Structure 1
């Protein structure tokens, strides 16, 4: 089973490795205390997974990791070092990709790859570390705190990227950029909601995720709030149902039934969406399902109402705009049908 950068850290039943997955961030403007944004040297108190942290009111040299990387790059924050974010480079604009490639990498994709010496050499005034709270054991916080203030906050469910990106940019003093990106996304979502209202109001959806375990003969079934559905939900798609047993985090909105359960899982939905890689190809786990005779027998598949969707793992409003464009492209043929 291919490791997923978001779910692995906080869904221990799926994997044990810790991924440097989500960013840390401050608690948001309404939770922060004191400190004018326009005065150098002033600080404010920020509520994070590692406690109440004093951070600069207007940070000028930021080190960011995990999901903070794309959101802070998009906002033009004052970055001096980042973790690698190879899983998301295909979603970046040319300008953002150039920025990403130019920045010093102070960590790889996992928490245990953190390069403390490189962080110290970057001389940050704020370190935004993005791992779930349980994974903080893989970070030497005391060592980082000896370099600069550290804020950490972890993920909840996949759809939580909206608030997490807000908190990333709030901590970095870039909340205005978040609001601008949110407004652009919501305007586009409203446009598509109107365009596809007749289809979306009358159809029920189910989503096949990219991370089933072919060796175990399982597939990934995603429900409302998970990676595949959550952006489509913003334009009015309905993904009914729920997991058989909630296990926390992504395990509350996705599960891994055996392939024999395909008819039971997807037999009563009108439209099936399934995750594609950014290049438009299915992952091995998805192809395993698409090649199954059970898949071909599903009513939605027989009716040509099973559609692949790229960019389902967008984690910022900027990248989620690409997901909306993708949904527009793949839903359009259903209007004609």
Structure 2
């Protein structure tokens, strides 16, 4: 995240394949919308190719791509039984994808040259990237679809990626099953939480991040799908508003800490400056043991497999507090 210029996943993950953690970038290209959701649109087919609308404009890709490289969007592909030949180490390290990645090679990120050489050797017919900075480099190797991080809802992102590999029906079936699971337990979760608030806090070296419903970590389930409330400082800007995250100080914790806290720590970061502080230890959620530690490397993803696992974790967490006094 180039010290977090935008703190998007593009900065955190995909860019590292070729350059030291750069921030995400915006795109002015539009993506076609069909029946309220985004899918890759078929253009005039010619010799086994089709034209799709992307965040970099129209791109001609194979009608039925077989050899795929992705520097981030791995869980979306695996969810529809498509296995790329190369994926980024950040995606492959997602523990929720364990056991599904056999045969996928880890992108060599020693340098830009080694990454590009490795990709070229596979002779891919489609590259899917989160990293705008690498788009031109990738496009010289194979047809490349750049997907701007944070532009789409989780569902529409999944639908769009599935449409690139002709798996729309499989994606829709997965989405319907997931939504049914979320809806089945919604009333129960709302009843347990009641009028209390839920917040997501994540510790980085000397920085605390708080997120709402637009920055992964399961926020879309908690706030959008279940309608749980965050503390007002989060609710007004990061759930009801367009802000994705905010960096806060230890002193600001009381304003951002909910009655329930999801708590992540960046791998390798020392969280003692938070954990040992009197402000943290005196938070109602901490004193009542209503804190859910999460594995940051897993929760930073928003693919359907990760979301399904997050859902199960949330249900178990809230059920454990079913008898807590509201």
Moved over 6 A (4+): 1-6, 243-247
Alignment match, 1:288: 273
1:45 aligns with 2:51: yes
TM-score, normalised by the number of residues in structure 1: 0.74
Question: Residue 123 and residue 326 in structure 1: after superposition, are their counterparts in 2 closer, same or farther (change >3 A)?
Answer: same
> Shift of the alpha carbon at 1:174?
1.8
* Aligned mate of 1:18, from 8, 18, 22: 22
Distance in 2 (CA, whole Å) between partners of 1:20 and 1:103 is 25
Q: CA RMSD in A?
A: 3.8
Q: How many residues align?
A: 301
1:297 aligns with 2:301: no
Distance in 2 (CA, whole Å) between partners of 1:113 and 1:260 is 45
> Shift of the alpha carbon at 1:312?
2.7
Question: Residue 184 and residue 294 in structure 1: after superposition, are their counterparts in 2 closer, same or farther (change >3 A)?
Answer: same
Distance in 2 (CA, whole Å) between partners of 1:87 and 1:287 is 29
Structure 2: where are the runs of 5+ without partners? 13-19, 35-39
1:168 aligns with 2:161: yes
Q: How does 1:1-337 map to 2 (within 5 A)?
A: 7=8, 9=10, 17-18=21-22, 27=31, 30=34, 32-34=41-43, 41-66=47-72, 68-77=73-82, 79-85=84-90, 88-94=93-99, 96-98=100-102, 102-108=103-109, 112=112, 115-131=115-131, 133=132, 136=133, 139=134, 141=136, 143-156=137-150, 160-211=153-204, 213-214=205-206, 218-228=207-217, 229-233=219-223, 234-242=225-233, 252-266=243-257, 269-275=258-264, 284=269, 286-310=271-295, 311-337=298-324
> Shift of the alpha carbon at 1:93?
4.2
| 1:61-102 deviations in Å (ceiling 9; x for gaps) | 222221x222213322263333333564311142x132xxx1
Alignment match, 2:15: none
1:45–1:52 CA contact under 8 A, matched in 2: yes
Distance in 2 (CA, whole Å) between partners of 1:246 and 1:222 is 10
> Shift of the alpha carbon at 1:252?
2.2
TM-score, normalised by the number of residues in structure 2: 0.76
Distance in 2 (CA, whole Å) between partners of 1:9 and 1:245 is 25
